[in-house]
Structure 1
Amino acid sequence: MSPRAIVTDIEGTTSSIAFVAEVLFPYSRARLAEFVRENPEAVAPVLEQVRAEAALPHLDLEGCIAQLHAWHDADCKIGPLKTLQGMIWADGYAAGAFTGHVYPDAVAGLRRWHARGVPLYVYSSGSVAAQKLLFGHSDAGDLTPLFAGYFDTAIGAKREADSYVAIARAIGVEPRAILFLSDVIEELDAADEAGLSVTLLARDGAAAADRYPVASSFDTILPQEIDA
């Protein structure tokens, strides 16, 4: 049975883990302090969220920067950090400092499924804003018209089954009719527990598991759709 919706992860699935680790993260880390100091009005709500998350209501500007650096270095999935990273990356994309990496086979697969009328969604630990930036400024151009919607950890943690139940409810498709794509076994376990169909992306020699369908690229996912 062909899925009625496809939900995809980003890192290691549509895009290289190296792009995030070696391009995006170093870019935001190097510019974080300067960006916060030079954009007081834009970052004021973010800093309030930092104080709330850290349970330090009187933390000053430099203290907030230090906390953000600590979260950044620990790769914490925390809302205010993700928001700030997205703001910094937006400047980088706009300046042409980089484009969003998307595997050519992922571009082809997404376009193929979209042309077939299958609604496509993104679910990533990166903020929705960051997701739209990556696909909107991708190596292949603006891919955002291919997607019907985006989800981040505001809907729930990626390793919890309830998150996938919530996504199914939000898009109005029963779980068993949704295909979820990811390179992380624990995410697939959660999606499978919620009743979704799943496929593991094992790119670049990544280890596979024998309990789920495995694909090394989007070319082998739903092969019956390629020549239909």
Structure 2
Amino acid sequence: MIQLNRLEAIALAVLALLAGITLGVPVGLWYGASHATAVGAAKLAELRRETAEASAAAVSAAAGKLALETARGDRLSAALSGAESHIDAISRQLINRVDHVTTVYREAPGAALKPIPQCVFTRGWLRDYNAAIGAAVPSAVEATGTLAQAPGAGIAAVGEDELAPAEIDAKSILTHQVEYGARNQKLEEQLNRLIDFNEGKDAQ
């Protein structure tokens, strides 16, 4: 066996230490980098999984809410359709009664029926009637034709005699009021359903 003196033994120990440092550092760095990469990849995969699950949950919740809102809208629409049908039915009944209530009258119970006297309406009256409901007053040429927005023709235009008689009677006025009233009731029903939908209310 070779005997080493003290100086040689110290030298060998130093060499061994240097060799260990030289080889250990790269090995340690490689291990640390590999471990960090593995941990990072695992955390990234977990984050992707959580994000996918959250997205799927959000999509499912949104789809469920959309389905509920669509069903509520359908119920409100059905209620509106029912209300409009009821308005139409009442209007038909009233239209059918126009001749009955504008043609003859009786002065007392059991008295004989008499023709209703003709009521004269001026062109100025008809013009103001149209203005009250927002209907445009036509020109002098248009005033000689039929006006869809109001009962009858003969509307006084600017510069005409507003006290001249208009070509309307009680029948045409009542007919127009029934139709106009039905239109307004439908608009009110539509507005009410729209407000209900925006406020989150359901059909009654």
TM range (shorter): under 0.3
Superposition TM-score, scaled by structure 2 size: 0.20
Q: Which has the higher helix share?
A: 2
Q: Per chain length, whose mean CA-contact separation is higher, i.e. which structure has more relative contact order (CA < 8 Å, sep 6+)?
A: 1
Superposition TM-score, scaled by structure 1 size: 0.19
Look at both structures and tell me which one has the larger radius of gyration over its CA atoms. 2
Q: Which has the higher strand share?
A: 1
